[in-house]
Amino acid sequence: MDHFNKTLAAHDLQLTRRETTTLQINVGLLCNQTCRHCHLDAGPDRQQENMNQKTAEAVVAYAQRSKFDTIDITGGAPELNPNLPYLIESLSRISSRIMLRSNLSALNNGKNARLMDLISLHQVVIVASFSSLDESQANGQRGDGVFQASIKALQKLNSIGYGQSGTGLELNLVANPTGAFLPVPQAQSEKRFREVLHKKWGIEFNHLYSFANVPIGRFREWLKASGNFDAYMKKLANAFNPCAVDAVMCRALVSVSWEGYLYDCDFNLARSIPLGGCKRTHILDMPGKPQPGNPIATSDHCYTCTAGTGFT
């Protein structure tokens, strides 16, 4: 039994599925950035790990027969996948809520005018990575120039109605610490980001979500290289909040990779831990959603989701 499961058992808790309402689609590891905290080791050198048209069609067919309420498209940088417009157009006819996770610089790279039109036409919810209000901290984590590129992208999104009341175009930010420490309380961050972004750049947004960095992938390598790994894992485990277990995302979400294989979440995908900890399952062999009550595969990185107020 892994350490995380021992902690659950000590609190008389079990991590099993409820009704699966969200399909998270990881279209691949290709990205224009190489962020230090990336749990997927995504980057410009990952062209091969990119969802092709055939798999995109299989994903749409799976969504059609499973009827998910929400579709959550992520990567790498999903904007760099040529099948993204097809996925948005097809899935908007199947599910009521389509989310696109964006690093902002890929979205507003001057080549995506058609994509900007498409996302606003289908009222796609933008979930934008925006780690810090401090330019040097943000660039230190995400790369030179990323902070200013993000500001310009947020201003562009505001100009087409995102984050503005009454437009139905939702713009949410995701903030994460720029080092081996836990995030400040979410409500506090949201208040400060709202004040500073409005005052300094006239930027508006709907919600801010803050989460702890997940100790896998590039962030795990950095923790080990900087001698922070053990202390960080202890920090996460000591912040274990049994109440947070109830709402962790894997209870209502299933992730599909660029090859079409299923996982309990994007973090398990990054570590190649298959759905429920069983043999790898491809969507072509999956009649519908994973069943309520099914076990969820866990590992030490799960402490990220149950630290403090958790990660939902």
In the complex, the residues that contact ligand SF4 under the rule CB under 6 A are 248-250, 264-265, 267-268, 296, 298, 301-302, 305
Number of other CB atoms surrounding residue 66 within 10 Å: 18
Alpha-helical (H) ranges within the chain are: 3-10, 53-66, 84-92, 113-121, 135-142, 146-159, 186-201, 217-225, 229-238, 266-270
Nearest approach in angstroms of CB 305 to ligand SF4 is 3
Q: Which is nearer to ligand SF4, 60 or 236 (CB)?
A: 236
Q: Which is nearer to ligand SF4, 73 or 305 (CB)?
A: 305
Nearest approach in angstroms of CB 250 to ligand SF4 is 3
Q: Which is nearer to ligand SF4, 118 or 247 (CB)?
A: 247
Write the DSSP symbol of residue 50. Answer: B
Nearest approach in angstroms of CB 298 to ligand SF4 is 5
> For residues 30 and 38, is the Cβ–Cβ distance under 8 A?
no
Nearest approach in angstroms of CB 264 to ligand SF4 is 5
> For residues 276 and 264, is the Cβ–Cβ distance under 8 A?
yes
Q: Which is nearer to ligand SF4, 138 or 250 (CB)?
A: 250
Determine phi and psi for 249, rounding to 5 degrees. Answer: -65, -30
Q: Which is nearer to ligand SF4, 190 or 264 (CB)?
A: 264
> For residues 98 and 41, is the Cβ–Cβ distance under 8 A?
no
Nearest approach in angstroms of CB 119 to ligand SF4 is 26
Alpha-carbon distance values, 139 to 27, 133, 136 (Å): 25, 10, 5
